[in-house]
Every structure is written in structure tokens, then in C-alpha cells.
Amino acid sequence: MNKQSSIPGLLDHELVVQAESLQKKAQYKEAIKLYKKLLQDTANQVYRDNLAYCYVQRAIGFAAKGMYPEALALWENHIAFAQPPYAAQDQYIVWQIQCSSAEKIAASLKQLSAQQLDKQYPALASVLGFLMLTKHPEFEQLLAQDSALIAHFKIIQTALQAFRDNRIDTFNEALKQLPYRSAFRDFRTLCGAITALSGSSTQAQTLLSKIPANSPYAQFAKLLHACTKEGAELAYELVKLNHQQDRFIAEIKDLSKKQLDFIQHFSRQYEQLSDKVEFNLAIQYKDLIGVDTAQPFCQTLLASYPAGNKDFIKHFGEPSEFEENRVKALLCEQDNNLYDADYYWKQCIAILENNVAKNALQIALILQRMATREPEADKRTELLIQSVQYDPDNRNTYLQIIHHYSQQKTAKDYKFWLNKTLEKFPQDVEVLTQEVKAATRNKTYKKASQYANKILGIDPLNTFAKQTLFSSHLAHARRLMRDKNFSLVAKEMSKAEQLNAGKVYQRQLQLMHALLYFAAEDKQQGLQKITTALADLHADPVNIHFQAGVETMLNGLPVATVLRELPEIKEHLLSKQELTELIQQLKLYAVDSDNWEYVHKALDKIKAPLKKSISEQAYAEELMLSLCQVLDSLDHFELLRHIARVAQAQWNKPIWTYYRVYADNNGEAEDYSYWEVQRLQNAHEQATENKDYPTAMLIDKLLDSYFEAHPERDMGFLEGLFGDSSGAMSDEFEDPLDALFGHLPDRVMIDLNNKSESLVKKMTPEKLSQELAQQVGGDKLLFMAMMVNPDVFSALMILRAADELSIEIDTDIEDVIEVFGIDENASAAPCPF
């Protein structure tokens, strides 16, 4: 339908609505037509502003497509409906430079004031600076001579002249005169990278990464970044560039003609390099890339290109025993045959061990490769530990070992490897950070502070170290406050202030100052200062109450006195942002287990609005999980139970089954009921099917803890849904539950288990036996059978669940009586487990 067809019959207000709607949808061409129609009838300033806006936005859209003449025309149209200063004028000038005549460009540049160049249009100033250095030096005379842009350009000219004269110190000193916000700051960074290239490619890469992608110097930065590469990495960079760019890099890298020929040959076939082509290229240029590189590369390719065997022998001779084993190992890896791959790698290691001094690094690399493919964490770590014997300076290997042991229950191995790593890398910030965390967990706070100070000596801006020291000072100040040593409290807070840890921490100190004033000076004024400090920290009453409660208790001050001055929280519902803020507070206080008692008491004060918020607010699942994790770390099972119930009803995922069972038993695995174990196993199966491996691992740990506490129950029937019992029993024994329900699909059994669990909470064995007595007679008989053998009760509850869910399971109460052997003379025999 033609968009204009309905216009004549529209009322003005309908036309306005349609125009505004099109504008919001970024359909600027259609919106322009409607606004022009409206302006024919009335000179409304809002319509003029909107029309001008649409023209500008459409111009920007055309420019993004490289259609600069069209963009210029549209922008110039908007002037008739707008007043200076014009929108996107800086972009308009850039478009002019792309396609206009020199006269028009000159006129536009002469109109720019120093204020516009230095303050209003930083992106344009950067482009003009770049152009003055490259294609358009004449722009210097057209721009405002009193602008910072021109002043900085003269500094750049001085620096470049010093560089040409090889006066590097003068060059660097000149660049230092440029302020941080200079239009030439990216050029300065580029120059820094150029001077760094001759020394440290890593430093050059770091500098080049600071140049943003939209900078006019980005293309040069990309080329220089390629210059920091060597060997294969350089080749892969060069194949992405054009011939002229390759020549530019070749000149910087001093590449030979043969090297360039290889790169061009490689780049022509880069997208479709077959094994055969790669093999022939390696042989053709073996003198260039080195026989030591070409030979193992070609031998590896023989696995997938056996036709090259004759050429291989011709150019390299018969392959060595080591190379044969290496190729076999790689082939096995390609087929995902890790067992045989390990065998061949071990053969390689055995050969290399004949000369450990020469081959140590190669042995370490093989062990590290085997570790990356080992699925079991313990075995993977064993391989890494072996590799350290041959490559003792590999920092990454040490960190992987530390990470593994940090996840284990016992801290002995973790401490050993952490200390060993620190001895090897005493100045490594990441290792020192691990030491700080370990010392904090062990409550050796003085040691944690020492390591944090060491980190700041290496990296003065390290946020983690600052936060650690800040927390240490704050904890010491609280202890002094409890001892009423107020003069030392002030000194400790002064030390914390000197760290300049950030605004949030400064507000925390403001609260501490208020608490100190309350304790040492004046109670009433102190209360006012406390409420003001809390209001600066938090916008909602729940977070305010929580932090007030924890901090007053940590400082040994009267909680009730402070809380009475705070706003009411009973009816408050936490927003997503406010709940996130509360989680951050909980994480902060959870670090030190000495705080947990106070945290629990503070949570008791806010649990009513918190529970209400969880029940009534539609929080994201990720946020709920985050809250669960921090409450778990604090052992606060009451709130954890509430969250798990609400979340399970909403999402019904394995992770919520985990939290539900875990919280219902206060984290005590030995207290799980039969049904809870079944639910965990079903959830584990679902998590595995969904490839939710973190959840599957959590459930595994719970089940392991349960069976450690009850080894006699670790039978076959708990490994499946109702499978066989263990080999300790007679082969003739058949699990009654399996006989009754083993024919049902797993999914049906999961539904029945969940339903029967909810029924168990409402129905006792006595009540169930009374209801069933009408069908079979003799409720006492059924009751006694359930008391002797709990599986009778379980079976009957499954029947009841099937009835409630209207599921046909082809099993009834008579089958239960028959399978368990319930009659007038014999109750059900106890289950062998």
C-alpha cells in the first residue's frame, strides 16, 4: 500500500502521530514527507525541529554507506529548518573533505573557531590533525591559529624533525608536551609503539591496543601491530593485507625477496590450502623456513597425505623413530583415541629422555599437550606436575596446578604449590594475589596485608591490593572501636583514606567517621551523620538497614538505637538494582567468617521484605542464582530454602532441585530421605542431558557426601532409577520397586517421584493405610507392613501419585501386596538394604 494514499483524509493530529511514529522507527524518508506536509499548514517549531533532525539522521545514514554527495545534500537541506549551532556539523566537514572542492572545504575550515576545534568537535580535530600530517598540510593555514590543535601540531612537527635527525631523546621529550586530551594523542601512542618495536614487541602491542578502532590512526596501528609478529604469525597477518601494505611491512621487517615471494604464494592459496599444497609449499621453501621446522611439519602431513612419502624421503631422508611415534600420536588424537595417543606420546618421551638436557623443553610440551586432552582433573594435574620437572620456568603450568588444588577439600597441596610458585615467581602479581586470597581465607590478615603491599610496590594502581589493604585497615579500626580506643580508630581510618581506593570506599569511610562520632562525641549528631552516610551509600531502606545492622554490631555499638532512626522497610520491594547491591554487600561481608554471626542477625532484620521481594518480584534467574551462591557461602539456609522453593516453581531446572534438597537439609547430606536422593539423581541425569556440567558436578558432590555417610546404601538401585541392587546380594533377589515400576519410562518416574514427594508432606502412613483399607480391608495390616518396610509406603505413594496425575501405570495395590508378600500371616519382608 502506498504510504501517501491515506494522507489527504488524515486529521492534523493523526498526521503528527504517524510522523512521530515513523521518526521513532528511524524511517526518516517517510517522516520527512509528513513533516513537510504538516509545515504547509502551520509554522510549528516542533515540526521544524523534527524535520531538521530527520534530515541529519538520513544524512548520517548515507555517509555510513560511503554516499557522501547524498549526505551533503541532505545535511544542507536541514539548515533551512534549524538554527546555529547546527547538528553534526563536524561530520559534515569530514564528508566535504571526502568529495567537495577545495574552495568549499577551505570555507568550512575557516569558519571553525578555536572553541569548536578544541572543545566541541574532538573527533573532527583528530581527523584534521591526521590529514595535516599526511595528505593536507595546507589545512594548517586554514584553521584557527589560536587553537590548541595548531599549537599541538607545531609540537608534533618539532618531534618529527628530531626523529628524522635521530635525536630520539628530543623526540620523546617533545611528545611528552602533548596533554592527554590532545587531538594528537593517538599519534603520540603510535610513535611510542614505533620506538618500542626495536626493543619489546609486547610493549609495542600494548601501546597499539590503546588506539581505538574509530581513530584515523587505526589503519597504521594495524600495520604496526603486524610488524610485532614473527614467523607464521607474521605470515598470517600479511595474507590479510594488500600488496602495498605487504611492501610497507617488508621494509620495516627487512624481509628478503624470497620471504616475500613465499608470503605472496601462500596468500594466493590461503583460503583453500589442501594438505598437498601445504606439503609442497613446505618442501619448496624449506631453506627459508628451516629444515627443523619443515621436516616435522611434512611428516605430520604424511598421515593425511601419504602420497608425499616419496618426496619426504627424497628431501629429508627416512623419518626417525621419534617422528613416527609423534605422527601416530597426532593421528590418534584426530580420531579422539586418547588411550593410544597417550601410549605413543609416552614412547616419544622415552626416546627424548635419552638426552634430557637437550630435550627437556620438548618433553614438557608433550606432557602439557597430554594434560590439555586428559578429561580427569587429577590425572591432568599429575601430568602438569611432571612437566614442571622439565620446564621449571613455565608460570602458566604452576597457575593451572594451583587452580586445581584450590578446588579440593584439603588445603595441604594447595599451600605447597602456592608457596613453591611464589618462590619461583616472587614478583608475579597474579601469584601474589593468590597468596593474599589464601592468607585472607586462613585469617592471617597481617600476612595478607604484607602481600598486598608487595603488589602495590609492583603495580601501584592494583585495585585488588588497594581493596585488601582498605579492608584490613577497616577491620582493625572496628576492633579498636569495640575496645573504645577512639584515637587509634581515627589514625587507622586515615591510613585507609590515603589508599584512594575509590568513591564507594570513601563513602564507607564516611560511615565509619559517623559511627566514630556517635561513639566518641555526640550521640544525637552522630545519629544524623550515620543516617546521612547510609543515604549516600544506598538509595533503598533495605540495603540501608542491612549495612547499618552489620556495621553497628561490628563496631560494638547499640543496633536498636541506630535502626530506630532509619526509614521503614516492611513494605519495600527490592528492585533488580537494589537486590544486586544487597548481593554485593553480602559478598563483601562473607569474606571473613568472623562477620557471619552479625550478617545473620542483620539478615533477620530484613528477611521479611527480602522474602516478599523474592516472592513477588520477577527477578532474572541469574540474579536468583547469584543470591543463592552468596547465601550458601554464609550458611543461611532459611533464606536459601525460600529462594529455592520460589525459583523451582518458576524454572524447575536441576540447579533448583539441588538447592532445594541442599537447603531443606541445612547442608547436611547424611539426612537426605530416599525421595530426596531420587530427586538428586533425576536432576543429575537431566543436567547431564542438558550439558549443564557445573550443576551435575554440584549434585555429584552432594550424592558422594550422602553415600560416604551411608555406605550401606550405595547400592545399584540408587545408580539408576530403580535398577538392580549390588552384587553383594543374591542374583535371585529382585528389587520390589523395580518389579512394580521398572517398566515405566524415566520421564514418567520423575513426574511420579516429584508428585509423591509433595504428597508425603501431607499424608502419614496411618492416613494412607486407612484410605486404602476400603480397597483391600485391614488398615492395620498395611500400616504394619509400611512400618516394617519403608519401601511399601514408597510404592503406595507412587500409586497415589499416579492416581492424582491420572497416569496409567499398569500397577495397582494388589500388585504391591503380591510383590511384597503382604498377607494375614506375614508382613512385608524388610528390604535387604
Lowest mean pLDDT among 530-539, 714-723, 810-819: 714-723
Q: What angle do CA 337, 341, 344 make, to 5 degrees?
A: 150
pLDDT value, residue 11: 55
Q: Residue 215 — very low, low, confident or very high, per pLDDT cuts 50/70/90?
A: very high
In this prediction, residue 550 carries a pLDDT of 92
Q: In this prediction, what percent of the chain has a pLDDT beyond 90?
A: 32
Point out the least confidently predicted range of 224-233, 546-555, 650-659.
Answer: 224-233
Higher-confidence residue of 443 and 565: namely 565
- Region 725-741 average pLDDT: 54
- pLDDT of 272 reads 62
Distances (CA, A) of 366 to 2, 296, 383, 389, 398: 70, 15, 10, 13, 16
Output the pLDDT for position 723: 37
Q: What is the pLDDT of residue 790?
A: 67
Asked if residue 8 has pLDDT above 50, the reply is: no
Q: Which residue has the cell 598421515?
A: 303
Confidence tier at 828 by pLDDT (50, 70, 90): very low
Span 486-511, pLDDT tens digits: 889 888 888 888 887 777 778 888 88
User: Quick one: pLDDT at residue 331?
Assistant: 80
Average of pLDDT values for 154-173?
Answer: 91
Largest CA distance in the chain: 115
pLDDT tens per residue across span 41-74:
888 899 999 999 999 999 999 999 999 999 999 9
Q: Residue 328 has what pLDDT?
A: 83
Check residue 321 and give its pLDDT. 85
What span, in angstroms and rounded, lies between the C-alpha atoms of 578 and 768? Answer: 47
Name the DSSP class of 82: -
Distance CA 79, CA 40 (A): 18
- Please say if the pLDDT value at position 204 is more than 80: yes
Which of 350-364, 638-652, 713-727, 816-830 comes out lowest in average pLDDT? Answer: 713-727
Identify the band that residue 712 occupies on the pLDDT scale cut at 50, 70 and 90.
low
Dihedral in degrees, nearest 10, Cα atoms 347, 349, 350, 351: 90
Q: How far apart are CA 828 and CA 790, in angstroms?
A: 10
pLDDT tens readout for residues 358-371: 999 999 999 999 99
- pLDDT attached to residue 772: 62
Measure the CA–CA gap between 24 and 18, rounded to whole angstroms: 10
Dihedral angle over CA of 128, 129, 131, 137, nearest 10: 110
| Position 777 confidence tier, pLDDT thresholds 50, 70, 90 | low
Coil/strand/helix, residue 89 = helix
544/552 Cα distance (integer angstroms): 12
Dihedral sign from CA coordinates of 712, 714, 720, 724: negative
**pLDDT > 70? residue 787:** no
Q: Write down the pLDDT at residue 827.
A: 40
Given this model, what pLDDT does residue 299 score?
81
> With bands split at pLDDT 50, 70 and 90, how would you rate the model's confidence at 6?
very low
Query: Which one-letter amino acid corresponds to residue 764?
Result: T
pLDDT the model gives residue 440: 76
Q: Where do we find the cell 597441596?
A: 413
> What pLDDT does residue 711 have?
67
pLDDT for the residue numbered 776: 53
pLDDT of residue 714: 53
Q: What is the pLDDT of residue 184?
A: 93
pLDDT (0 to 100) of residue 576: 93
Instruction: Say if residue 527's pLDDT is above 70.
Output: yes
Nearest CA among 469, 470, 461, 551 for reference residue 504: 470
Residue 258: what pLDDT? 72
CA 121 to chain centre: 35
Name the nearest CA neighbour of 72 among 53, 47, 89, 49: 89
Q: What is the pLDDT at residue 73?
A: 93
- pLDDT given at position 84: 86
What percent of the chain lies above the pLDDT cut of 70? 87
User: Which tops the pLDDT comparison, 92 or 268?
Assistant: 92
Of the ranges 85-89, 441-445, 581-585, 774-778, which one carries the lowest mean pLDDT score?
Answer: 774-778
CA 442 to chain centre: 27
Predicted confidence band of residue 461 (pLDDT cuts 50, 70, 90): confident
Evaluate whether 497 touches 512 at the Cβ level (below 8 Å): no
pLDDT value at 392 more than 70: yes
At residue 719, the pLDDT reads: 39
Q: Does pLDDT of 235 surpass 80?
A: no
